[in-house]
Structure 1
Amino acid sequence: MLQSFKLAIKSIWGNKMRSFLTMLGIIIGVAAVIILVSLVNGYMGSIVESFASMGVNQINVNVTNLTSRTVSVDEMYQFYDEHTDLFDGISPNVTISTTIKKGNDSMTSTSVAGRSEQYLDIKDYDLQLGRNITYSDIVSRQKVCVIGAYVAQELFGSADKAIDETLKIGGYAYKVVGVVEVQDEDDMEDGGTDDFVWLPYTTATSLAKSANINSYTFTVSDTDNAEEAKTLLESFLYDIFKDDDLYRVTAMSEMLDSLNEQIAMMSGMLGGIAGISLLVAGVGVMNIMLVSVTERTREIGIRKSLGADKGTIMQQFVIEAAVTSSLGGVIGILIGCIATTVVGAAIGISATPTLSAIVISFSVSVGIGLLFGYMPASRAANLNPIDALRSE
């Protein structure tokens, strides 16, 4: 085995250009698999992170209240109180389309919504200054608000200056009682993550001139119980509406699982497409090895006449093919890893070479060497020693 390996290295080194051209297909194939799979995983990973930041422990409920069939806020809270073993947060949501003003300054893209006192924890945000909306604010319909860092910066100049000041929403004055910490320094713009105003949801219903609330956000204490919590919510709402078209319950964890499945499928497909080049490279290995057998017919004849059996001859050529493809695989891995990092940085995503892509592509390259090296090796092993010695 060691002798065959040494002969393989000697043969490869003795025909550097031909060996390199043989490896080139393997190098390109392995590098392509690593680059494509790693870049796709990096890009989709950034999407998953942004998706996860929405809260994988959240369950969103949207209902269509009719005159005859309506679910009230009190009923939703009663359901929540009965299942505190599953849920650890709830917030009715009231979205308002309006402009907010401070003196002559106004903001039209700001998200204005009614929330509960638990919404800050649901979003996993922290306050920079001031206080959160409280239960007493909700009960007494206080005209107070909590604002995002961008709103504080644009209308007041800073969070310090915003606390206890007032701004106008829909023509009514609201006191700023809290400013939320900056969530995204790179997204401090109109309509960004930090461009929002939260009011007590009871105050928001008055501003929206609608007593019915159609949207709720729940959080589950354990994402493993998200499916059970979702089923309970659907059962509760069905008992009220008797029509599952009148409500929609969406568990964010389920959507994330579905997204991960799609990512895995896409990575597999792209890896398979890139892997086709490895098959083409395998044909190249086989062709070169057939040429090598033809060129070395006399050498094979001499070795056979000196007592080398079929197994030894076959082993020599299979190992030579395997070493060629393995070296190509190693070079392909190095190029793929470097290119993945460089291209990822160039397009602005965090892409790192995936271990699975490296292992699979290298294993396939070695397997291709063994598979496509078998036919030339078999041909060499079956040569008649007398005919081989006669060849020029």
Structure 2
Amino acid sequence: MRFSQALRMAFKAIASNKMRSFLTMLGIVIGISSVIIMLAVGNGSKQAITSSIEGMGTNLLTLSLTGTKTTTLTSSDISTLTKSKNIANVASDLTGTATVKSGDENETASVEGTVPSYSDVRDVTVAYGRFITQDDVDNHYQVLDIGPEVIQNVYPNLSVKQYQSLVGQTIQVNGANFLIVGILESKGTSTTGSSDNRVIMPVTTAERLEGTTSVRTYYVEAASAGKIDDATTDLNNLMYDKFSGDTTQYRVLSESELLQTSTQTTSTMTNMLTAVAAISLVVGGIGIMNIMLVSVVERTREIGIRKAIGAKRRDIMLQFLIEAVVLSCLSGAIGVIIGVVACLIMPQFTKQAMVMSGGVMLIAFLFSVAVGIAFGLYPAAKASKLRPIDALRYE
């Protein structure tokens, strides 16, 4: 029997039981589309996190105080760090949340209490006005720089061109009046959160607003990319001495370590989700085997007639194997199409970045073909082994 003839017969057999064929294909369709979507989500998240971390600056170190022995660095500690030839700047960062209000509009925003060097260390710029100054910090002035997302929610009627008019205006933060001295440049949104839904104020003012003097995070800018290791050593030495060798009280992370940790976490979650999605491919393969076994039983007499007029065992086996492969190929193609369409549509309704891979699509499709072959072999072999006399007598 020619291959083209077997292929036509396979399509005819599938078309004769449309609903049954559709339900059989559904498992593989869901599996293929889920694998493509999950990997696109994982790759998109990894890319967004990488971009976010790299955007912090290539010379950035993050010091986190994780213990309870000391709640903050002293001015003497910071002075010691800034005197090092390996360190350019140090910026404290006291974070919290607050209700920002103007008139009848209000928004819950992130509050960051910091110092002037923060703008250089974290590459923060203002579109209009100015950034907080040392004078603001020393005098506990109630001033702030406001992010564009906060403006959108608190001043919904203002256009972007009118944002400049807010400089010099008063806004309430947790019921206290603050003077807007600057409008922050947009930093965008990633899977790690929005960088625009925040207000930045002097750290001394934030301490009073949040009711704490415990600054737990410090950003340290190395003098250059080549000084990262030396700056890390200086920072570790200072903290080691400060905490008498108790390294559980602090943690120093470089940009590369942050990136590695984040990508490892994202990759692990992506692999887990993909594995769960891939299980439906196996379930779909079992469905194909089941339907092909049913088909063998239903067409026993047909098999007997074909064998009686000269069809060889390999012809019967090829026919049923082709049917199984056609089912899996159609399922794989439909699954790829649905996966691609979903990846194109999802970013329109969510903030989730999607990064598709042609290689993943090809592998997923080939895997569906392999599933068709693997789960179609047994039914095909069973059909080919039927004796003509037994098949013809089958009712």
Bin for the TM-score computed over the shorter chain: 0.5 to 0.7
Q: Specify which of 311, 314, 319 is matched with residue 311 of structure 1.
A: 314
Q: How does 1:189-268 map to 2 (within 5 A)?
A: 193-198=197-202, 216-220=218-222, 229-239=231-241, 241-242=243-244, 243-268=246-271
Tell me, what secondary structure is at the counterpart of 2:63? Answer: strand
Q: Is the 8 A contact 1:146 1:179 kept in 2?
A: no
Tell me, what secondary structure is at the counterpart of 2:83? Answer: helix
Tell me, what secondary structure is at the counterpart of 2:182? Answer: strand
C-alpha change, 1:114 and 1:258, in structure 2 (3 Å) is closer
Q: CA deviation at 1:328?
A: 1.4
Range 213-222 or range 280-289, more displaced: 213-222
The residue that corresponds to 2:381 in the other structure is: 378
C-alpha change, 1:215 and 1:325, in structure 2 (3 Å) is closer
RMSD of Structure 2 on Structure 1 (CA): 5.2
Q: CA deviation at 1:267?
A: 2.3
Tell me, what secondary structure is at the counterpart of 1:31? Answer: helix
Which structure 2 residue ranges, 5 or more long, are not aligned?
101-107, 155-161, 172-177, 190-194, 208-212
Q: Would you say 1:288 and 2:291 are equivalent positions? A: yes
TM-score w.r.t. length of structure 1: 0.68
Q: CA deviation at 1:37?
A: 5.0
Cα distance in 1 for residues equivalent to 2:362 and 2:97: 53
C-alpha change, 1:272 and 1:228, in structure 2 (3 Å) is farther
The amino acid that maps onto 1:195 is V
Q: Is the 8 A contact 2:131 2:145 kept in 1?
A: no
The residue that corresponds to 2:15 in the other structure is: 13
The residue that corresponds to 2:49 in the other structure is: 48
C-alpha change, 1:128 and 1:303, in structure 2 (3 Å) is same
The amino acid that maps onto 2:90 is I
* Structure showing greater Rg: 1
Q: CA deviation at 1:323?
A: 0.8
C-alpha change, 1:363 and 1:229, in structure 2 (3 Å) is farther
Tell me, what secondary structure is at the counterpart of 1:248? Answer: strand
Q: How many residues align?
A: 361
Q: CA deviation at 1:376?
A: 0.8
Cα distance in 2 for residues equivalent to 1:286 and 1:158: 64
The amino acid that maps onto 2:8 is K
Q: Is the 8 A contact 1:61 1:217 kept in 2?
A: yes
The amino acid that maps onto 1:120 is S
Percent of aligned positions that are identical: 33
The residue that corresponds to 1:332 in the other structure is: 335
Q: For residues 64-84 of structure 1, what are the alpha-carbon distances to aligned partners after superposition, in whole Å with 9 as ceiling and x for unaligned?
A: 669xx99533321122x1x26
The residue that corresponds to 1:271 in the other structure is: 274
Tell me, what secondary structure is at the counterpart of 1:121? Answer: helix
Cα distance in 1 for residues equivalent to 2:350 and 2:304: 57
Which structure 1 residue ranges, 5 or more long, are not aligned?
101-107, 168-173, 206-210
Q: Is the 8 A contact 1:110 1:197 kept in 2?
A: no
Q: CA deviation at 1:303?
A: 4.3
Q: Would you say 1:78 and 2:97 are equivalent positions? A: no
